[in-house]
Structure 1
Amino acid sequence: MQKLNSSGTHCNTQPRDAELQLRLADSGGAGEGRENGAGRQFLPRTQEGGSVCTKRKMLVGLDVICLCVASIPFFACELKAVTPYKRGFFCGDTTITYPIVEREAITDTLLIAGGIAITGLTIALGECYRVHFLGISSRAFVQNRYVSCLYKELGSFLFGCCVCQSLTNMAKLSVGRLRPNFLTVCNITYASINCTPGNYISEVNCKQPDDKQVEEARKSFFSGHASFAMYTMLYLAFYLQARLSWRGARLVRPLVQFFLVMLAIYTGLSRISEYRHHPTDVLTGFIQGGLTAYWVAFYISSMFKPYTRPDLSPTSTSLESPLSSQQTVC
């Protein structure tokens, strides 16, 4: 009789233990464990996903704030909130006596609209192609893969635009170098101010009634056209190097990149022929724009970040193979 009771008790206990383990397994599958004073508790996955989503939204907001902060020097100069440094000149200096050329080959509006439109549109089309045909996926909280990939690539490009122009305007305001046509804009001559050749003139009263033109004539260093054109065109050349992987003619991509860089160089050289910048201003603009494009493309953007396919070894990774949505992350 005792054996029956003990065996019966054993048989009744085993299903209960199995049921208890099943409940614990179900609770573990529905959330993550958290250890506290009351024992092990389980959080629903909906709460976990909601906290991650909120954190990522905060990071996106932080990106927007960083973009606005990077553009403060640019808007401070464009809105005339800060006046440029009033630098003097040496009497008899012929580098600031050039005439005014009214016609501009590349206007400010054409420069900004063209640079942003050409590069931005190419990046947008390239990312949409990758998402649609190559199945690019994203780990962002935004479910739309197009929006996620465009946010990452266009956001990096626009951040570089803000940094590039802010550095340019900061230099213009702090240096205050006189443009080649300064005396003509100021409406004076060396004879009219009765100066001795070689003497330094710290202050001069311009006869130009428009003070805004005089302030613009003090913003020669360095060329904003050269820096912005070089940044946008070189950045687009980097993007084509990373994304354009057509196996056809080998010289198509280098030819397009050559025309982009040539367009940027032409933009800078036109500022010299129009007597708006000195050659060293344009050269410095080229260097600054090129360095900014390199920095953003290789250290901020994800275009050159390597990825590995699960079905290939690391040595056989290729950017030219179509990948599924589970293999490539933008």
Structure 2
Amino acid sequence: MPPERDHREFYTYFGVELVIMAGTVMLAYYFEYTDTFNVHVQGFFCYDSAYTKPYLGPEETSAIPPAVLYAVVAGVPTLVITVTEAVLFLMQYTSKDLDTRKKTIVTGDCCYLNPLVRRTFRFLGVYMFGLFTTDIFVNAGQVVTGNLAPHFLTVCKPNYTALGCQQALRYISHQEACTGNEEDILRARKTFPSKEAALSVYAALYLAMYITCTVKAKGTRLAKPVMSLGLMCLAFLTGINRVAEYRNHWSDVIAGFIIGVAIATFLVVCVVHNFKGKLLLSEDPQQESMSSAPMMSMPRVESPLEKYIASQNHIAFDEVT
């Protein structure tokens, strides 16, 4: 492949991926920090016991605050993947006597990209894309459903007398029924699916699959499943904490788990192909593609000359024996 063509294809691919990533981030921003999408106003029955749980304070007072959770799901996988890729690259670098040309990937006339940087950015870019995608799916579900939190009536503070709630089966569907803090009420209407559960299980599963598929060092046969199960346990504890603090129903947490698991599995299996890739690539991209392509099994047809030589050898062997 000519260098000019390789140069153009690299920057075209990079530009397309950058546009997709920017669009995903902007959509997540509009869902999270603007009122562009109005939350569905779901009604409730008077004195419904499913929504009268105590309110334990804002999200910042939770045992797992959102700021800490977001920092962990964004920082820990980034750190682990970067360090692991650097270690694997150094191990392969010192184990093979390759020249400088085989340790770089030619991307143009004057641009050289280290394979460690390219591979690391690929895995981290896919991870961050999935993180924002999970956030978008969760926010879309919360806006569309408007499911009520277990403590909704506690923060709603409806005037049951003015609403005519002498009968517990009376259904209230108008938004003006609540007299409490508007921000607390709006947050209490956005619980399905659970964002904390979805993000935590997505990060845990992506990182667990990365560790399982990438780390091949001796002595890690038991360490890898222990680390993976530990990550998954932390994610499940996050969902359990949401239910224990009456911030989500079990259905909200389970739906969040399903979304996180589905997105992580899809990206790992279909996008990064179980984190398969070479750290050190050959100098000739065409030769590399030919060597990496699977060989097709074709039937072998012997020529008449080969048949004649084989028959003569067989006769000579019979005469000797």
TM-score, length-normalised on structure 1?
Answer: 0.75
- Paired residues in the alignment total 267
| Pair 1:130-2:99 in alignment | no
Shift of 1:77: 2.0
CA shift digits 1:168-220 (9 cap, x unpaired) = 00101111001111111112364563322222211142212x42222111101
| Pair 1:65-2:19 in alignment | yes
Shift of 1:167: 0.3
Contact 1:153 1:302 in 2 (8 A): no
Cα distance in 1, alignment partners of residues 248 and 106 from structure 2: 45
Matches of residues 72-151 of structure 1 in structure 2 within 5 Å? 72-81=26-35, 82-102=37-57, 103-135=61-93, 139=105, 141=107, 142-151=112-121
User: Secondary structure of 2:86's partner?
Assistant: helix
Cα distance in 2, alignment partners of residues 150 and 249 from structure 1: 22
Cα distance in 2, alignment partners of residues 69 and 211 from structure 1: 30
Q: What stretches of structure 2 of length at least 5 have no aligned partner?
A: 94-101, 283-287, 293-321
User: Secondary structure of 1:71's partner?
Assistant: helix
State the structure with more CA Rg.
1
| Residue equivalent to 1:179 | 149
C-alpha distance 223-203 of structure 1, shift in aligned 2 (>3 A): same
C-alpha distance 272-140 of structure 1, shift in aligned 2 (>3 A): farther
Instruction: Work out which of the residue numbers 199, 219, 226 in structure 2 matches 1:248.
Output: 219
RMSD of aligned residue pairs (Cα, Å): 2.4
Cα distance in 1, alignment partners of residues 220 and 84 from structure 2: 19
Between stretches 255-264 and 90-99, larger displacement belongs to: 90-99
Q: Percent identity?
A: 27
| Residue equivalent to 1:157 | 127
| Pair 1:262-2:233 in alignment | yes
| Pair 1:217-2:188 in alignment | yes
Contact 1:123 1:154 in 2 (8 A): yes
Structure with more helix by fraction: 2
User: Secondary structure of 1:188's partner?
Assistant: coil
User: Secondary structure of 2:237's partner?
Assistant: helix
CA shift digits 1:136-185 (9 cap, x unpaired) = 96756242223211211111111110111110001011110011111111
Shift of 1:92: 3.0
| Pair 1:233-2:233 in alignment | no
Between stretches 194-203 and 92-101, larger displacement belongs to: 194-203
CA shift digits 1:242-284 (9 cap, x unpaired) = 1121221532111111110000000111011111111100011
User: Secondary structure of 1:197's partner?
Assistant: coil
User: Secondary structure of 1:234's partner?
Assistant: helix
C-alpha distance 87-266 of structure 1, shift in aligned 2 (>3 A): same
| Residue equivalent to 1:286 | 257
Q: What stretches of structure 1 of length at least 5 have no aligned partner?
A: 1-44, 308-322
User: Secondary structure of 1:276's partner?
Assistant: coil
Cα distance in 1, alignment partners of residues 103 and 160 from structure 2: 66
| Residue equivalent to 2:179 | 207
Contact 1:183 1:189 in 2 (8 A): no
C-alpha distance 249-236 of structure 1, shift in aligned 2 (>3 A): closer
